[in-house]
Structure formats: structure tokens, C-alpha cells
Amino acid sequence: MDCDLKIKYYLKASLGADRIANCVAAYTIYKKDCLVIDFGTATAYNTVSKQGVFQGGLITCGIQGLHDILPAHLKLLNKKTKGGNQNTLALTTSQSVKSGLYYSVIGVIEKIKSDMQKNLNKKLYIIATGGGANFIPNLKRILNDIDVNLTLKGLAIIYQRKIKGRNK
């Protein structure tokens, strides 16, 4: 598929359309070296250069998956609760679970962001997307932008380019 993105990926056919759409949108909208973090069923981290080159990425367990790993009797976390105090010295089981999940997600984001920037030898503009981004309190403090519709925007951009290509 011609999506105006140069893709550095060994098995291009195995690269998900959502990952491509996210990178097309990031490249087109932000015009910067970007790391797109898509909080869906899984959490996908993908990089795209300001020149429009998909540079790779990785996929980790999604927020729901992390939550589901906990035994049923520990599922005291209300997934839809936004905000709240994230404390490494929680004093209730409920707060311990909530804080543990929060720090699990934030810690992984920070480490992956740091390593990707080091590997690429450049600062990345960090964008979160996907429905799960709404469930992470204070996410904006470690990212540059949150756009839960980035995938849809990428699909619309690709579609528009296809239509223009047909009309030539």
C-alpha cells in the first residue's frame, strides 16, 4: 500500500495497519521525529522520522492485560477512575494495586522512550493514542501530546492520498 511512508521493516506485510496509520498521521501532522504510543489491546511503541521513515518499534502488554494478570481477589482497581494519588508507599490494598499498575505503565514508557531516543540518537516528540491513554493519570507530564483519534486521522490521510492518486 502506498501511504507516503518509507517503511524499514523486514516483513512489511506483518506490520499492522494501525501502526502504519499512526505513523502516517504523526509524520503528516507533527512533522517531527516522533514516538507514537498506542494504548489499545496491546501497547505499541512506533517511531517515525520527520522525513517520513518508519524506524521500528515494539509491542508490550496492554493496560487491560496488566490488569487481568492480577488475581481476581486483587482486582480492586476501578479501571475508569481517572486521577488520584499515585504513591509508592500506598497504605491500602486498593491503592497498592492502583499505584502498582500506574508505575508499571509509567516506568515502561519512560524506559522505552529513553532507550529509543538513545538508539536513534535524537529527541522524539511523544504522542499517545488509543482508548487506554484516557485511563492513565498524569500521562501528559511525560508526553508531548495525547490524541486518541490519531489512528483514525492516519487512515483518513491515507484514504485521501489514495483518492488523489486515482484522480490523476
Cell of 31: 512533522
Q: How far apart are CA 6 and CA 81, in angstroms?
A: 39
CA 164 – CA 52 distance, rounded (Å): 19
Torsion of CA 155, 161, 163, 167, to 10 degrees: 180
Per the annotation, the verdict on 18 as an active-site residue is yes
Type of residue at 51: Q
Q: Which of the following is catalytic: 2, 18, 38, 145?
A: 18
Residues 125, 33 contacting (CB under 8 angstroms):
yes
How many whole angstroms separate alpha carbon 110 and alpha carbon 35?
12
Q: So which residues are the catalytic ones?
A: 18
